[in-house]
Structure formats: structure tokens, C-alpha cells
Structure 1
């Protein structure tokens, strides 16, 4: 399997970034929903938010790597069977997903640093607080973060359903390419 993307499929690095982010986003969504239900006396009351923040900072760093990789190894062009509307929709959906990722990571950072304290990433390093206003910043960013979390989950489900539609109904290579296979490989 190749490292870089080709004209017919995604390379291993793009696939790992794609599926790794998908897994992390759903795990973070579940962790976020669970941690807000914890009572003060629960053992995870302080640990769950710290875990959520640490993973969030790593995702922010990973997103920078992902965007850089997308420029170093551009994705394969859309299959020939895709019409103009499908191509524009796919491009718009990817832009929207990246914008949601950026916005959710920024809002999470603003929640985490509202009190002026840095974010400790698994105790390995700290990310300093830059904008701080404990009262309103945490509340507003928290509301935005929640709406963005639901938005990215809903949008990614639609993204997945579109890939399944392409695979099972249109019978094209859209999904296969992100799994490292294509018709070109199988001779179909």
C-alpha cells in the first residue's frame, strides 16, 4: 500500500488520518456527553474533563498535520461518474467538515482556558491561555461547543451515508478509495 494518494485511491497516511479522526471525534463526543452527567463526588468528575482537553489539543495538532498532508498529497479526483452537482456537494461537505473541526477545537480551547490557566496535555506539556474571561467566555464557548459537537456528528453521519449510497446504489469507487481499494486495482 502506498503512503501518498494516487489518482485512483487514498494513501495509507490519508486513510489513517481520516479514520483516526472519525474514531476520535465519536469517542470525544461520547466522552463529552458522559462527563457532563457526572456529579462532583464521582471519581471521574475531574479526570474526564482533563482527558477530554488533552485529546482535544492533540486533535488540534493532528488537524494541522491533516491539512498540511492534504496539500502535500492532494486527494484523488472525483470519479468520472460524478456529475457537477455531486462534485460541488462533495467539495462543500469537506470544507464544512473541516470548518466544523476547526470551530469545535477553538471553542473547546476557549472553554478550557477561560479561567486563565493553561491546558495540560497529559502532564507532558502545557498550552497557554491566550484569551481569558472566565464568566462569559466559558458559557458562550460551551454553548457553541455543544452545538458544534452535535453538528459535526450529524454532518459526519450524512457524510458516511453518502459514501454508502455511492457504494451500494451508484456502485462507484467513492468508499473503496478511502478503504485503499479501487476498481483500477481489481481490474473492474
Structure 2
């Protein structure tokens, strides 16, 4: 949503599957557009950090703790019978 607000606030047209979506708003002041851009960038870095941390935690459980957490997340039909 921040990306749409950032681009629309700057008066740019967005496209969705090739269909142009004009801005439903009047142009925002330059400070507001810059604020949306900054929020968009910080949120992107936050999401990448969380995803990286989540993947690192999964690998830590698999290879260091060896507690079979990843195997327990699989559907029951995928687990080998014992």
C-alpha cells in the first residue's frame, strides 16, 4: 500500500497486469511523497530482515539443535512410517 501511495502521491500512474490505474488522489506535497518513500524503504528492509532471520532460525533448528522441527511441519502423509 505504501508503494501505491508513494507513486500515486507523486502523480504517477500504476499498472496492474498491464492495466493502467490512474491516481485517485491529487498530487501530495513533496514532503509527504518523501515520507511515503522512506516508509516504503524501511518496511522493505524490515521484511527482508524478518525473512532472513526466520530462515536462519529454521536452519539453526535443523542443523544445530537437530530437533526435527522442519519435519514436524510437514503434512502427516509425507512423514516416513516407523
Q: TM-score, normalised by structure 2?
A: 0.69
Look at both structures and tell me which one has the larger radius of gyration over its CA atoms: 2
Q: Which has the higher strand share?
A: 2
Tell me how far apart the structure 1 counterparts of residues 52 and 46 of structure 2 sit (CA, whole Å): 10
**2:19 maps to which of 116, 124, 132:** 124
Aligned equivalent of 2:8, options 91, 107, 113: 113
Whether the aligned pair in 1 keeps the contact of 2:13 and 2:20 (CA below 8 Å) is: no
Alignment equivalent of 2:47, drawn from 141, 152, 166 = 152
In the alignment, which residue of structure 1 is the partner of 2:79? 185
Q: Partner of 1:120: helix, strand, or coil?
A: strand
Give per-residue Cα distances to partners, 1:45-78, cap 9 Å, x unaligned.
xxxxxxxxxxxxxxxxxxxxxxxxxxxxxxxxxx
Check if 1:168 corresponds to 2:68.
no
Equivalent residue runs for 1:22-41 within 5 Å = none
**1:150–1:144 distance in 2 versus 1, CA, 3 Å:** same
Number of residues of Structure 1 aligned to a counterpart in Structure 2: 81
User: Does residue 140 of the first structure (1) align with residue 35 of the second (2)?
Assistant: yes
C-alpha distance in 2, partners of 1:129/1:152? 27
CA distance in structure 1 between the partners assigned to 2:71 and 2:33 by the alignment: 39
Going from structure 1 to structure 2, the CA distance change for 1:121 and 1:183 (only over 3 Å counts) comes to: closer
Whether the 8 Å contact between 1:113 and 1:130 is mirrored in structure 2 is yes
Deviant stretches of 4+, over 3 Å: 127-132, 180-184
Which protein, 1 or 2, shows the higher relative CO under an 8 Å CA cutoff with sep ≥ 6?
1
Unaligned runs of 5+ in 1: 1-105
CA RMSD of aligned residues (A): 3.0
